[in-house]
Chains A and B, each alone.
Chain A
Amino acid sequence: MSLETALRATEILLALALLQQSLEHIFWARAERRTFFIRAALAIVLLTGWQSIWVLAALTAQSVVLLHRFGGAYNGGSDRLALLILFCLTAASFLPPGCGREVAFGYLALQVLLSYVVSGQVKIANAAWRRGQALADVFAFSAYPVSQQVRGLHRFSGLMRAASWAVMTLELLLPLALISRETLLLALGCALAFHLANAILFGLNRFLWIWPAGYPALLWLQGLVDPLVGWHAPTMFWGG
């Protein structure tokens, strides 16, 4: 994927995620309606691609105001990634084509990778996660399960252990998927299923919208590392 295509794809996915977030605020919190109406309008303009550079700058400035209003990110990790994507896109837009723009977008790709790897690393270092007890605790008494029925899943210790290992394996092995475009697409499909499960079980719907907005950066990064480490299953098995 070329840098320009990846940047535009990221803009579109980010705009959809910001629009989704803004609509939630507009239809729920009267006090914030005007602010998020402006944000939704900017997201729609970003979708069209018109004057992206200034739209991104306006969204970035408004994001700083929102950080002050809520005393930090409103929705934890998902809003933090949304802002990081926004900052990286804005930096890339203002930098001239070439190395600077690639560094700004590459930083986003690195952070998306780290979001999985660091999360997996801190879990696997914890014996409670390896036993499945930590995930059982998340279901049993954290604020996240969306219903009492979902909370009851903590009683299935085998399921908790299997799910813990599935999550840790996915998070830790995701960087290895950069070895080829096919493996990366497969890994990103698994990651998307992981975010879907989090949205269904824990109500983390904003993660489901914003994390895929970081995937074009990984697809672009994979194109860069492909000549260095590329592994192509069809060539191996079909003899080119």
Chain B
Amino acid sequence: MRATFDLILPVLLPSWRFFETVEASPRIEWAPEGSDRWRAVHPRPEKLTGWTMLARLFFNPAWNEALFLVTCAERFREDGAPAALPHIQERALLAARRVEPGAPLQLRIRFVLGQGPARIEEEIYRAALFE
């Protein structure tokens, strides 16, 4: 009951403080075990055509999943919320298996802040990714 109340309260009393400050941003990546060839779970394309942008106004599930994983990574970092991690592992595994069907895999979560020489990176999680 308490858990339900904690979930509903932010819906009934939203904060609406969008982008009050620009915080460190997560990067969720996988690689074959023992390798340093890290790839984003949801890679960002170089560019999108106008047609793709238009279509994504109506149907954009992969991107919305990527935003959900960003939220999960932020929850994991801020609250150490263990419940957020399985969501990331499950979806990272699905994405990685499309590229690497058989190899053992690892997952890492980094946070980046700033740009250029002032850029700060912090790795908060790295572990094997199990089926």
Contacts and interface: CB of A to CB of B under 8 A. Distances in A.
Interface of A: 20, 23-25, 27-29, 31, 64, 67-68, 70-77, 80-81, 83-84, 87, 111, 114-115, 118-119, 122-123, 126, 128-129, 134, 137-138, 140-151, 154, 196, 199-200, 203-206, 208
Contacts of B48: 146-147, 149-150
B35 interface: no
A72 B71 contact: yes
Interface string B86-120: 01001000000000000000000000111100010
B115 A141 contact: yes
Contacts of B7: 64, 67-68, 71-72
B57 A64 contact: no
Given A141-B119, A205-B58, 7 more contacts: A27-B61, A67-B11, A71-B75, A73-B10, A80-B11, A122-B20, A150-B48
A115 B19 contact: no
Contacts of B63: 146, 203, 205
Q: Is the interface of A mostly helix, strand, loop or mixed?
A: helix
A20 B58 contact: yes
Contacts, number: 149
B19 to A, nearest CB: 7
A74 B58 CA distance: 17
A138 B22 contact: yes
A146 B115 contact: no
Contacts of A134: 19, 21-22
Given A71-B83, A114-B16, A119-B18, A28 B26 contact: no
Contacts of A129: 19
